[in-house]
Amino acid sequence: MEAEDRTGDSTIAGRLKEIEDKKLFRKRKSIESAQGRLVQIDSIKLLNFCSNNYLGLANHPSLINAFQQAANNYGVGSGASSLVCGRSSAHVELEEEVARFTGREKALLFSSGYLANLSIISTLVEDSSDYIFQDKLNHASMIDAALLSRGKLVRYPHVNVTALHEGLQRQSLNSKIVLSEAIFSMDGDVAPLQLIAKLCGEQKASLVVDDAHGFGVFGHQGRGVLDLLQLNQSDVPVMMATFGKALGCSGAFIAGSNTLIELFVQKARPYIYTTAMLPAVAAAACEALNLLQSETWRQDNLFALIARFRSGAQQLSLQIGDSFSPIQPLLTGSAERAIKLSEILYNKGFLVTAIRPPTVPVNTSRLRITISAEHTEKDIDMLLEALSCATTAIRDIK
């Protein structure tokens, strides 16, 4: 049989058609404005209900000013990787502030959460006898990191501590790492981290928690889910979180003990071989941490809006997930229903993206509605009214 040319246009066109036929084709939108409560697309103003800008900081004047001043001082590019000459005093200041804020000994910066998670697994997994246990609904970066490592990946059913316990017991003689999101990115629910931390301590497994969607939102002054659940560095040795969601910037960090962070500096390939985060972004993120502590009304307003949305959705019998986070999934089942619902809302002036496989499991397509502290009560009520009309309109679509 003749070999297939995987880069040939006809082969690629066939693959694209298959994606389109399954209603899974993704189309990119171009935002013509700053991220905020309102965004502009094709000169149309839309109420934005799909951004991770949970606290409304992405366009905050203080962050813009910090970014501009740092750009004046350091220029635009960082110039090189952190271990060559890319690490500036702005990076040092942010690392020290993150460590202090999270109550951990040390922190290390990355250009993205994806790179941070790749670094964690590639560094901590030493050989093929190591086992990596992950919640089935973990973020793709955590799954990909495990698949790229030399370890054996075991995916336990979502938030099923009993299944995790049984898996860890079966590998009592092997090195074990457990990874979980704190807030699951597509469902918005919280992992049972207190139980998982206790179990990892009993089974001598290392626990890694990705708090990308909880950092800045939960805990005292936004210190995250680990702070909310009173889990310290001993309970959760490796914490990862991002600056690109509630903090309105970009990039990520790993926080832990001095020895742990030093190991990442020496061995984490995504850290060693990637150009450092822009100094201006580091300065803006540091300012965002200051705002978390001085403008706590943002979290208060956010949770009041979440409660209002959930109460209204339940009154309208909308099929929303069990989440008290800013992530409020409205399940549609089929990808076609999710697309149509998103289109109807768009035409009514709302931006809510349809989420489909492979981002979520088959038959669990949804609208991933996200709420921001910038939204108003009127915005929430208008969205609920639009959702009620839109879900009625797609009732006959399978």
Asked if 93 is an active-site residue, the reply is no
**68 token code pair:** 């501009």
Q: Are 154 and 174 in contact (CB under 8 A)?
A: no
Measure the CA–CA gap between 62 and 14, rounded to whole angstroms: 49
Using a 10 angstrom Cβ sphere, with 0-12 exposed, 13-18 middle and 19 or more buried, the burial of residue 144 is middle
- The count of C-alpha atoms lying within 13 angstroms of the C-alpha of 206, restricted to the half-sphere facing its C-beta, is 18
Coil vs helix vs strand at 13 = helix
Using a 10 angstrom Cβ sphere, with 0-12 exposed, 13-18 middle and 19 or more buried, the burial of residue 23 is middle
Measure the CA–CA gap between 317 and 329, rounded to whole angstroms: 14
- Only one residue has tokens 């979290």, namely 299
Burial code (b: 16+ CB inside 10 Å, e: under 16) for 48-63 equals: bbbbbbbbbbbebeeb
* DSSP letter assigned to residue 235: T
Asked if 160 is an active-site residue, the reply is no
* Nearest Cα to Cα of residue 158 among 365, 363, 371, 361: 361
Query: Left if phi > 0, otherwise alpha if psi is -120 to 50, otherwise beta: which for 314?
Result: alpha
Measure the CA–CA gap between 308 and 377, rounded to whole angstroms: 8
Which among 60, 91, 106, 213 is annotated as catalytic?
213
Cis peptide bond prior to 237, omega within 30° of 0: no
Which among 185, 206, 301, 323 is annotated as catalytic?
185
Which among 130, 210, 211, 287 is annotated as catalytic?
210
User: What is the biggest distance separating any 2 CA atoms in the chain, rounded to whole angstroms?
Assistant: 67
Asked if 262 is an active-site residue, the reply is no
Which among 91, 106, 139, 176 is annotated as catalytic?
139
Q: Are 156 and 133 in contact (CB under 8 A)?
A: yes
Which among 176, 245, 340, 375 is annotated as catalytic?
245
Strands (E), 99-186: 106-110, 131-135, 152-156, 176-181
Asked if 325 is an active-site residue, the reply is no
Measure the CA–CA gap between 264 and 119, rounded to whole angstroms: 7
Which among 52, 112, 180, 250 is annotated as catalytic?
52
Asked if 210 is an active-site residue, the reply is yes
Which among 95, 135, 181, 287 is annotated as catalytic?
181
Asked if 42 is an active-site residue, the reply is no
Asked if 187 is an active-site residue, the reply is no
**Active-site residue list:** 52, 139, 181, 185, 210, 213, 245
